[in-house]
Amino acid sequence: MTFNLTVSPDFAPDHISGWYFFNTWLQRKLGVGIHLELYDSFDAQREDIRAEKFDLIYANPYDASMLVREMGFQAVVKPASKSDETIIAVNAESPFHTVEDLISGCRVATTDDPDVHTMGMIMLESADLDKNNTEIKQHSSYVVVAKNLLNGDADAGFFLKDAYDELSELIRSKMRVLVSSQISVVHHSLLVGPRMAEHIPAIQTALLTMHDDEKGKGVLESMDIETWEPMDSEQTEFMIDLIDTLID
Amino acid sequence: MSEQDTGEVRTVEIAYFDGTKRTADIVDREVPYPDGKLIVSRTDPQGIITHANQAFIDMSGYSEDELIGTNHYILRHPDMPAIAFKGLWDTIEQGTKWHGYVKNLRKDGAYYWVKATVIPNIRNGQLVGYTSVRRKPSRSKIVESEALYKTLLAEE
- B19/A113: higher pLDDT: A113
Q: From A86, which residue of chain B is nearest by alpha-carbon distance? A: B36
Q: Give the mean model confidence (pLDDT) for residues B2-19.
A: 80
Pairwise CA distance, residues A122 & A139, whole Å? 19
Does B139 sit within 8 Å of A244, measured CB to CB? Answer: no
Residues of B in contact with A244 (CB under 8 A): 97, 119
Nearest to A87 by CA among A14, A23, A149, A33: A149
B76: confidence class by pLDDT, cuts 50, 70, 90:
very high
Q: How far is Cα of residue A56 from the mean position of the Cα atoms in its chain?
A: 16
B35, B37, B54: best to mutate for the A interface, most A CBs within 10 A: B35
Query: Of chain A residues 160-199, which have a CB less than 8 A from chain B?
Result: 179-185
What was the pLDDT predicted at B2? 64
Residue from A102, A209, A113, A210 nearest A161 by CA: A113
Q: How far is A207 from chain B (nearest CA, A)?
A: 27
Does the structure show a pLDDT above 90 at B79?
yes
**Predicted-complex ipTM score:** 0.87
Residues 219-238 (A) with a CB less than 8 A from some CB of B: 237-238
What structural domains and CATH numbers belong to chain A? 2-81+186-246 (3.40.190.10), 86-180 (3.40.190.10)
Q: Which residue stretches of chain A have pLDDT < 50? A: none
Question: What pLDDT band is residue B8 in, cutting at 50, 70 and 90?
Answer: confident
Task: Give exposure, A76-86, as e/b (b: 16+ Cβ within 10 Å).
Answer: bbbbeeebbbb
The pLDDT of residue B52: 94
pLDDT average, residue stretch B134-142: 96
Are the Cβ atoms of A238 and B131 closer than 8 angstroms? yes
CATH classification code of B9-155: 3.30.450.20
A130 touches chain B (CB under 8 A): no
pLDDT higher at B3 or B152: B152
A242 with B131: Cβ contact below 8 A: yes
- With beta carbons less than 8 A apart as the criterion, state whether A64 and A13 touch: no
pLDDT value at residue A172: 97
Mutate which of B41, B132, B135 to test chain A, going by most A C-beta atoms within 10 A? B135
* pLDDT tens track for A104-141: 999 999 998 888 999 999 999 999 999 999 999 999 88
Cβ contacts of B97 on chain A, cutoff 8 Å: 244-245
pLDDT score recorded for residue B16: 81
Rounded average pLDDT over B99-119 = 96
Q: Which residues of B touch A125 (CB under 8 A)?
A: 115, 135-138
Chain A partners within 8 Å of B135 (Cβ): 122, 125
Distance in angstroms (rounded) separating the CA atoms of residues A57 and A10: 13
Helix (H, G, I), strand (E, B) or coil at B72: helix
pLDDT band at B1 (very low <50, low <70, confident <90, very high): low
Nearest to A125 among B119, B131, B138 (CB): B138
Residue B3 has a pLDDT of 62
- Mean pLDDT for the stretch of residues B16-28: 86
Are B97 and A245 within 8 A, CB to CB? yes
